[in-house]
Structure 1
Amino acid sequence: MAIEQMHNAVLLLGLLGFAVVSDLRSHRIPNLLILLGLGLGLAGQVYSTGLSGLGDGILGMLVGFAIFLPMYALGGMAAGDVKLMAMTGAFLSAHDATWAALYSLIAGGCCGVLLVLVRGQLPLTLSRYLLMLRAHAYVAPVAGEVAGKPFPFSIAILLGTLASSLWFTLTA
């Protein structure tokens, strides 16, 4: 891994770390952090690979945004999570952003199941979904909640990005 790529990876993980802390404290991800990350991600892409890196960063940003947008539209996550994934994509290629987003969704599902189990809300959650199936209806959850409690999805984005980066490092 080139030194520029290492700097970009450390910078991205630091920004994601700040997002996690903010999300845990206030259930918000500051727009200033997102804008700073977008600028740094795109600048890092240009510095690493020249002007073509700008295109890679923009494509990665759009991919991250596009994969998470339907979840926001369905009420499954908050807008800050979508913006955070777009910021993450700005540091990555479109291919890597796709995998980071998919790994993040898997990590989010795993974290959600763990939270339901730890909070002892499995029977309540299952009965809610059984009721929805019987009624043939979909009741959208409140954005960013798991079993009626706030869920900081930034943790899943950090874990998914780490997992995808580790996977590509090990298989390269």
Structure 2
Amino acid sequence: MSTEQILLAVVLLGLLGVAVACDLRRHRIPNLLVLLGMALGLAGQSYADGLTGLGNGALGLAIGFAVFLPLYALGGMAAGDVKLMAMVGAFLTPYASLSAALSCLVVGGICGLLIVLARGQLLQTLARYGLMIRARAYIAPAVDEVASQTFPYSVAILLGTLASGLWWFVVLL
């Protein structure tokens, strides 16, 4: 790994740390943070690899955005999470961005499952999903159900990005 890549990784992780703190505290990810991160990611990519790096960063941004956008459109994710994943993509190559986005989705699913298990609502949640499959319609969760409460998805984005980065680091060694 080059010095530029290490610096980009440190900046990305710092920005993700701030995003997680904001999300946990206020359930919002500031647009200014995301825009600053996108600009820093694209500038860093450009500095490290010229126009090729800028193109990789722009494509990585688009991939991160495109993977999470359908989840926002279906109501399963907030807009800030989509923008945050796009910011992550700006720091990465297209392949690494896709890998990170998919890792974030897997980690988010694991986090959701762990929350359901911790609250003792596994059977209740499975029953509701079974009803939805049979009815072929969405059934809103009850107010006391864990599925009705927000989840700070920035945590899954941070952990998924770390897992993906570790994977790419190990593969490139």
Contact 2:68 2:85 in 1 (8 A): yes
Q: TM-score, normalised by structure 1?
A: 0.94
Deviations 1:51-103 (A, max 9, x none): 22111110000000001111111111110000000000000011100000000
Using the alignment, how far apart are the partners of 1:74 and 1:139 within structure 2? 14
After the TM superposition, which residues 147-158 of structure 1 pair with which residues of structure 2 at under 5 Å, given as runs?
147-158=147-158
Cα offset for 1:146? 5.2
Q: Hey, what does 2:75 align to over in structure 1? A: 75
Letter in 1 for 2:70: P
SS, match of residue 29 in structure 2 = coil
Q: Percent of aligned pairs with the same residue?
A: 66
Superposed structure 1 runs of 4+ greater than 3 Å apart = none
Which structure 2 residues correspond to residues 15-30 of structure 1 after superposition, within 5 A?
A: 15-30=15-30
Contact 2:64 2:88 in 1 (8 A): yes
| Superposition map of 1:15-164 within 5 A | 15-139=15-139, 147-164=147-164
Report the alpha carbon displacement of residue 139 of structure 1 after superposing the two structures with TM.
Answer: 3.9
Distance 2:40 2:146 in 1: 32
Distance 1:140 1:11, change over 3 A: farther
- What's the offset of the Cα at 1:120? 1.5
Q: Runs of 5+ in structure 2 lacking a partner? A: none
TM-score (norm 2): 0.93
Q: Structure 1 residue 111: deviation in Å? A: 0.2
Over aligned residues, Cα RMSD in angstroms? 1.4
What amino acid is aligned across from residue 170 of structure 2 in structure 1?
L
SS in 2 for 1:162: helix
Q: From the superposition, tell whether residues 140 and 8 of structure 1 become closer, same or farther in structure 2 (CA, over 3 Å).
A: farther
| Structure 1 unpaired stretches of 5+ | none
